[in-house]
């Protein structure tokens, strides 16, 4: 992850065009909204069935899905501090059971995992004599996770049961701000987002432990006041 962020920051800095004069930096409060794609990473899942007293280890793969959110903060000129509310979603595409050194691919998985994140972010703006401002930074916060009932064709009952959990979350990333005028700018960014281990169904028949990690790209509009 760190290697990817360093490369993004370097490319953003050297790719800044110097063909036009930019509006000067305008410190002050701002709000923004963004939409894009979330690509959840494969994750290891540990399940325990209290009814049969068995433990199961799975490998879960997700399909890409939505990444949407909004922020509000203050631009101090060199650094921006903001609060963020965002939602990321992953549809469970494939589940592979891992037991006794053997892997069994389960078919027709039907389930999803969502993360409503509340983050506090800090970004460093790399101002230069152009309309494009690269930035790098990250944030910490919490994610309200929701796991749906998850079915596969091999079993009649759900292998993961619907539940919610709230866990620690963090993110890091980089992007480019393109000034459209003194108030409006276009924001194109990347974020790596991850949570600590979430536990679902602790008070139900099946408990499920997993982490949510995703690569996220988005485009948005920022409005300064």
Looking at residue 198, which CATH number applies to its domain?
2.40.160.20
Question: pLDDT band at 6, cuts 50/70/90?
Answer: very low
Average pLDDT value for residue range 72-80: 95
Position 154 scores a pLDDT of 87
Q: Examine the pLDDT at 219 and tell me if it is beyond 90.
A: yes
- Per cent of the chain over pLDDT 90 is 72
Cα–Cα distance, 138 to 123 (Å, whole number): 6
Domain residues for 115? 2-224
Q: Examine the pLDDT at 2 and tell me if it is beyond 90.
A: no
Encode pLDDT of 8-64 as tens digits: 444 444 444 433 344 446 789 999 999 999 999 999 999 998 888 888 899 999 999
Position 112 scores a pLDDT of 95
Number of domains in the chain: 1
Do 151 and 106 form a contact (C-beta atoms < 8 A)? no
DSSP H/E element including 10: helix 2-14
End-to-end CA distance of the chain, in Å? 34
């Amino acid at each position: 992850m760190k290697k990817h962020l360093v490369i993004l920051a370097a490319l953003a800095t050297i790719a800044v065009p110097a063909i036009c004069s930019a509006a000067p930096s305008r410190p002050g409060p701002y709000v923004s909204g963004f939409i894009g794609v979330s690509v959840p990473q494969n994750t290891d899942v540990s399940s325990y069935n209290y009814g049969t007293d068995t433990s199961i280890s799975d490998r879960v793969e997700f399909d890409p899905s939505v990444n949407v959110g909004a922020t509000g903060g203050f631009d101090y000129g060199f650094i921006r501090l903001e609060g963020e509310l965002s939602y990321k979603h992953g549809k469970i595409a494939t589940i592979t059971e891992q037991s006794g050194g053997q892997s069994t691919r389960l078919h027709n998985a039907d389930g999803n995992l969502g993360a409503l994140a509340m983050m506090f972010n800090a970004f460093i703006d790399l101002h230069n004599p152009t309309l494009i401002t690269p930035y790098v930074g990250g944030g910490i916060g919490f994610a309200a996770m929701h796991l749906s009932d998850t079915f596969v064709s091999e079993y009649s009952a759900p292998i993961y049961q619907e539940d919610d959990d709230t866990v620690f979350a963090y993110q890091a990333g980089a992007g480019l701000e393109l000034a459209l005028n003194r108030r409006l700018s276009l924001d194109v960014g990347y974020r790596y987002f991850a949570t600590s281990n979430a536990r679902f169904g602790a008070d139900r028949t099946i408990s499920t432990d997993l982490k949510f990690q995703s690569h996220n790209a988005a485009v948005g509009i920022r409005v300064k006041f």
